[in-house]
């Protein structure tokens, strides 16, 4: 069973996790019809639902009760709990769109979640997700060059993350769980100044990896992985 026990606690609301509009994730989706029935797992304060036209039916799941209460003001129904705890209260074959913005990495059994969520999805439904890329160049530089793996309050090594993903492992997880990938790409590309010794070293390290891999290591440029997937027909 899936758990969100590692999700960021309520006292970290200043990090912006619960109020981020995430336009780069919404941009992954095709033109959406009106009146969608949408479920956002880890909805925070419900900011993402602002992208959807009036008439869309927005449901949310959010373990932090304070954020869930805020989300409930703009969404149709919000469960202040984990997915596991409320999955049996969700209608079967109902949702046209499932949203997982930086939430799958907080699950102790993400594979179980990816299988279980499909029974709540309507025919032709989509799942959109953003997932941190542990091969992001800044993280890779710290690990390979500096020999450091330091958990932090936010980012790829957020201390509440339960799982870590690369592009390859993310693709495998979705496909093994029975999804077909419609879009699969990097989002939030690296942008850094070349001023300073560390940034120059980081830039040279990045170029070296890309050259040695004959260009195949360009996934290191992206902080997150964007996924749009649909369940494969049985």
pLDDT per residue over 82-122, tens digit each? 999 999 999 999 999 999 999 999 999 999 999 999 999 99
- How are beta strands 77-79 and 57-61 bridged, if at all? parallel
Residues pairing with 186 in the sheet: 225
State how far the Cα of 58 lies from the Cα of 222, in Å rounded to an integer: 29
Closest to 64 (Cα-Cα) out of 48, 47, 82, 52: 82
- Asked if residue 207 is part of any domain, the answer here is no
- Asked if residue 213 is part of any domain, the answer here is no
pLDDT per residue over 176-192, tens digit each? 999 999 999 999 998 76
User: Structure pTM?
Assistant: 0.88
Number of domains in the chain: 1
- Asked if residue 211 is part of any domain, the answer here is no
- Asked if residue 109 is part of any domain, the answer here is yes
- Using only C-alpha atoms, what is the Rg of the chain? 18
- Asked if residue 53 is part of any domain, the answer here is yes
What is the token pair recorded at 88?
């049996």
- Asked if residue 15 is part of any domain, the answer here is yes
Q: Which domain holds residue 57?
A: 10-132+162-189+221-231
Please give the full DSSP string across 182-210, using - where no structure is assigned: EEEEEEEE----S-SHHHHHHHHHHHHHH
Residues 6+ apart with CB under 8 A from 117: 41, 83, 98, 127
- Asked if residue 114 is part of any domain, the answer here is yes
State how far the Cα of 94 lies from the Cα of 122, in Å rounded to an integer: 5
- Asked if residue 174 is part of any domain, the answer here is yes
Closest to 81 (Cα-Cα) out of 113, 45, 41, 116: 41
User: What local confidence, expressed as pLDDT, does residue 12 receive?
Assistant: 43
Q: What backbone phi and psi angles, to 5 degrees, belong to 70?
A: -65, -45
pLDDT per residue over 32-54, tens digit each? 888 899 999 999 999 998 898 88
CATH at 20? 3.40.50.150
User: What local confidence, expressed as pLDDT, does residue 35 receive?
Assistant: 87
């Amino acid at each position: 069973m899936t758990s969100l026990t590692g999700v960021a606690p309520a006292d970290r609301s200043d990090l912006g996790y619960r109020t981020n509009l995430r336009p780069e994730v919404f941009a992954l989706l095709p033109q959406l019809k009106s009146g969608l029935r949408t479920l956002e797992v880890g909805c925070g304060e419900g900011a993402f639902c602002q992208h959807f036209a009036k008439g869309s039916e927005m449901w949310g799941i959010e373990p932090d009760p304070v954020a869930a209460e805020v989300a409930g003001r703009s969404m149709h129904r919000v469960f202040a709990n984990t997915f596991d705890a409320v999955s049996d209260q969700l209608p079967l074959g109902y949702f046209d769109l499932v949203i997982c913005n930086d939430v799958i990495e907080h699950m102790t059994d993400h594979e179980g979640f990816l299988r279980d969520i499909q029974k709540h999805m309507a025919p032709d439904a989509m799942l959109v997700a953003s997932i941190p890329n542990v091969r992001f160049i800044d993280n890779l530089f710290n690990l390979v060059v500096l020999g450091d793996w330091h958990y932090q309050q936010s980012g790829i090594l957020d201390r509440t993350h339960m799982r870590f993903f690369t592009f390859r492992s993310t693709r495998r997880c979705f496909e093994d769980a029975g999804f077909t990938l419609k879009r699969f790409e990097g989002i939030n590309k690296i942008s850094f100044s070349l001023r300073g010794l560390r940034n120059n070293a980081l830039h040279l390290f990045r170029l070296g990896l890309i050259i040695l891999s004959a260009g195949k290591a360009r996934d290191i440029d992206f902080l997150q992985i964007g996924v749009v997937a649909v369940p494969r027909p049985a």
